[in-house]
Amino acid sequence: MNNTNKQFSDRNKAVRQAYYAILKLAKRMLSTIERLELRYTLVRKERPLNGLGLIDEFCSPLLYLRLEVDKDGIMAIRYGFEPGKEYEHIIVPFVRSVYRLTEEVAQTNGFVDPIRLDWYIHNSDDMYAYLEEQNKYHTFELIEYKVTGRQRKQILRVA
């Protein structure tokens, strides 16, 4: 393997690690929502044909995340969210984690930021509804509800 291919491979490995770290944080944040319908997600896992296309896609009514490979074999991350005040305690940390984790990867490995914004999901709820309606390739997954420390204290205070 020549030096360029090794850098290419290292970059893709780092982008993949960042993506799954962001996905883990997103699921953890969504698990704190009491409303069941907001914890339902649509997930799609693929093997890219000829090294091109979608690898992993995660869509909820609040958050969208996608890992893909472009025609040059370079992995990239796309994201989106549902704007609104009610769940900004989830959306803001999600967006921050996307940029923080990908920036760490880019600085460590010395390459350009792997986030793609040439098309952007600015309304995750509509995307979720569309995918749910079409539902050819996605599977439903429910994120288990987990009470946070702050919620536990409120429950104990009321009881």
Q: Helix or strand or coil: residue 121? A: strand
Packing angle between helix 88-109 and helix 3-30, nearest 10 degrees? 160
Kindly state the tokens that stand for 45.
């896992």
* Cβ atoms of 95 and 81 closer than 8 Å: yes
* Cβ atoms of 56 and 152 closer than 8 Å: no
Whether the predicted pLDDT of 84 surpasses 90: no
pLDDT, tens digit, 9 for 90 and up, residues 66-78: 999 988 888 999 9
Q: Which residue would you say has higher pLDDT here, 99 or 110?
A: 99
Q: Which residue would you say has higher pLDDT here, 30 or 132?
A: 30
Q: What is the mean pLDDT of residues 3-13?
A: 77
With a CB cutoff of 8 Å and minimum separation 6, the contacts of 79 are 22, 63, 64, 65, 66, 94, 95, 98, 115, 121
pLDDT at 53: 86
Compute the distance between CA of residue 134 and CA of residue 28 in angstroms, rounded to an integer: 27
What residues does each domain of the chain span? 3-158
pLDDT, tens digit, 9 for 90 and up, residues 9-56: 888 888 999 999 999 999 999 999 999 999 999 999 987 766 678 999
With a CB cutoff of 8 Å and minimum separation 6, the contacts of 44 are 54, 56, 57, 137, 138, 139
pLDDT, tens digit, 9 for 90 and up, residues 143-152: 999 887 665 5
pLDDT at 150: 64
pLDDT at 96: 94
